[in-house]
Amino acid sequence: MDKVEERKYHRKRCTFLGILYKHMTHNLRCLKETEMPTQFVKNMIVFCLVLILLPATTMSAAPVIKDVALSKVIRTTLKISSKKEVKTSDLKKLKSLYAEDTKNKISNLQGLEHAVNLVDLIMPGHKIKNITSLSKLKKLEFLVLEGNQISDLSPLSGLSNLESLLISGNQIKNLTPLKNLHKLTSLLASGNQVADLSPLQKLNLEWIIMDGNKIQDLSPLKNHPALEYLYVEDNLIQDIAVLDTIPHLIEVSLAGNPLNEQAEQVIKKLEKKGVIVSLEYENEAETK
């Protein structure tokens, strides 16, 4: 039972006890005029005292982790018996959590906000939509949420220690919440609906893998100081001139884009610098 629920419970309990007290006081007055046995009166008084003194903590509290599948993963990780509830103190012991068994789908992360010492969180292929609970996990460095149903990355905006983020196969359109994550070096966000790369301008990304989005404009990556690997297959990119300004570029994959006529000259320049440029899908290249 959290503090808010506990306060609500206490208010309801006090209201109930107040009514009961008035009722008992009235009845005790009436008892003076009757022949009701004294022992009965004593028993009723004891009953009232027990109710008043009964602490809220004796009530069965709601589980900290609401999702059964998530609870199972945590129990397995921390070796907690199925007969015991997962407590807040247990969650603070978590450093890494791997929920890669997708037979039992996780859909609710509520309660995971107490796992404040988590560094690695891997949860691909579940049914997660809301990631609000992750906003308090300030120590997270490695986060995998591929193949879920996430559309809003806002809860990640304050995770300043995040280094690798894998969010491919979701419903993401907006990368703005990532714009201040300056420790982020790897972003894998293929199979989403992202069109704007502007939020990535000032990040220290070395890897950007964003195949299958709606990207048309690569200009936000101009002079990007850290970028080494860029995979943007199956987007809507025509102009790739900006790639010639990226100083440490090692490899770029552009297969499935409607490149303009000038792209050929840019590619030649890149290849002279030693940059690997791929215009074919990996499987096609292997068969040749």
Q: Note whether 207 and 184 are within 8 A (CB).
A: no
In this prediction, residue 29 carries a pLDDT of: 54
Query: Coil, strand, or helix at residue 219?
Result: helix
In this prediction, residue 269 carries a pLDDT of: 97
In this prediction, residue 229 carries a pLDDT of: 98
The span from the CA of 167 to the CA of 30, in Å, is: 71
Sorted by where each begins, the domain ranges of the chain are 3-58, 69-287
In this prediction, residue 138 carries a pLDDT of: 98
Name the region of 190 (left: φ>0; alpha: ψ -120 to 50; beta: rest): beta
In this prediction, residue 10 carries a pLDDT of: 47
* CATH number attached to the domain at 69-287: 3.80.10.10
Write the secondary structure of 42-60 as one string of H (helix), E (strand) and C (coil): HHHHHHHHHHHHCCHHHCC
Other CB atoms within a 10 A radius of the CB of residue 266 amount to 18
Report the predicted TM-score, pTM, of the whole model to 2 decimal places: 0.79
In this prediction, residue 12 carries a pLDDT of: 45
DSSP 26-46: HHHHHHTTS---HHHHHHHHH
In this prediction, residue 63 carries a pLDDT of: 84
In this prediction, residue 14 carries a pLDDT of: 47
In this prediction, residue 47 carries a pLDDT of: 52
In this prediction, residue 16 carries a pLDDT of: 46
pLDDT, block means (10 residues), the chain with 288 residues? 46 47 49 52 53 48 87 94 90 96 92 97 97 98 98 98 98 98 98 98 97 98 97 98 98 98 97 97 62
